[in-house]
Amino acid sequence: MNGETGTTVRFRCGHGADAAEARITLQRDCPLCMLLAETKRSREQLLRRVAPAGRAALARETRIGASYEWICSRGHSRYTASVRETLTGPGCPKCARNAQAPAARYEGGVPFMKPGLKTRTSQAEQKLRMLLGERIRLPHRVNAIRINRTFYGKPEVWPDIIIPALRVAIEYDSPGRDKTSHRGLKEASDLEKDAALEEVGWAVIRVRADGLAALGPYSIVCSVVSAGVVDEVLCLLGVIRGEEAVTALMRSGPSG
């Protein structure tokens, strides 16, 4: 064998030397294909992560130690790493650092009790909570949800009603006494709040009262809070998390 042996080996998977030039055909897959199988990934998936300039070479690559430039799926800057590092670790150094960063990232989506939190609660909102509480079990010991960004300077949001078992928050929106106050600004901030919750796995149902139009994917437009509105909330909860999950929260008997 001469020094070019490495380039004249062909593997069972078809990688390595071209069939015409191959001096040896090994009856096993190339190391890269073997690692892909071990890590339950396909070469297509791997190719989607490499920088375009490396695509053609990676499509035929057999060595797991070969270095390539990769694109982070979370939008961090490109990074160089071996195929092995990319398949078995976080690869992207920024993602690796985030994975080790203090709790924050893991706490996103966790509901908790914020002591001393005072929010203005309207009678309509109280009525909604009471009527809903007659149908499903609502926790009393949570009033805030941790998020992965800040909202008005805080790493948390305070929805009106929180259902941790379903990871659904319910907001009661009404135009307020003067019916005009900064409606556009309020809507933008409400949508930002919804996005912050969705980011950590929560869905938001908005009960839009007294002339407010629908906002977000799960809106219930109504004039006042009624039993019918609560029926719609329960129906939406079923749409979002499945009937079974909602039934599990139901109080027994027709009205509990």
Query: Nearest distance from residue 193's CB to Zn ion, in Å?
Result: 26
Query: Nearest distance from residue 69's CB to Zn ion, in Å?
Result: 13
Q: For Zn ion, which residue of 41, 63, 84, 94 counts as binding (CB under 5 A)?
A: 94
Query: Nearest distance from residue 36's CB to Zn ion, in Å?
Result: 8
Report the chain's terminal Cα–Cα distance, integer Å: 83
Residue 35 binds Zn ion, judged by CB under 5 A? no
Identify which range of 18-26, 52-60, 92-100, 125-133 contacts Zn ion by CB under 5 A. Answer: 92-100
Q: Which of residues 46-85 bind Zn ion (CB under 5 A)?
A: 72, 74, 76
Q: Which of residues 4-33 bind Zn ion (CB under 5 A)?
A: 13, 15, 30, 33
Distance from C-alpha of 231 to C-alpha of 244, rounded to nearest angstrom: 16
List % helix, strand, coil for the chain (3-state, nearest 5). 35, 20, 45
Query: Nearest distance from residue 117's CB to Zn ion, in Å?
Result: 35
> In the complex with Zn ion, which residue's Cβ is closer, 92 or 162?
92
Q: For Zn ion, which residue of 58, 92, 162, 236 counts as binding (CB under 5 A)?
A: 92
Which SS3 state, helix, strand or coil, does residue 72 take?
A: coil
Tokens of residue 137, six digits: 């079990």
Which residue, 138, 142, 172, is CA-closest to 156?
142
Q: How many residues bind Zn ion (CB under 5 A)?
A: 10
**CA 133 to each of CA 94, 129, 130, 246, 248: distance values in angstroms, whole numbers, following the listed order:** 44, 6, 5, 13, 14
Tokens of residue 199, six digits: 């980011």
Residues engaged in binding Zn ion (CB under 5 A): 13, 15, 30, 33, 72, 74, 76, 92, 94-95
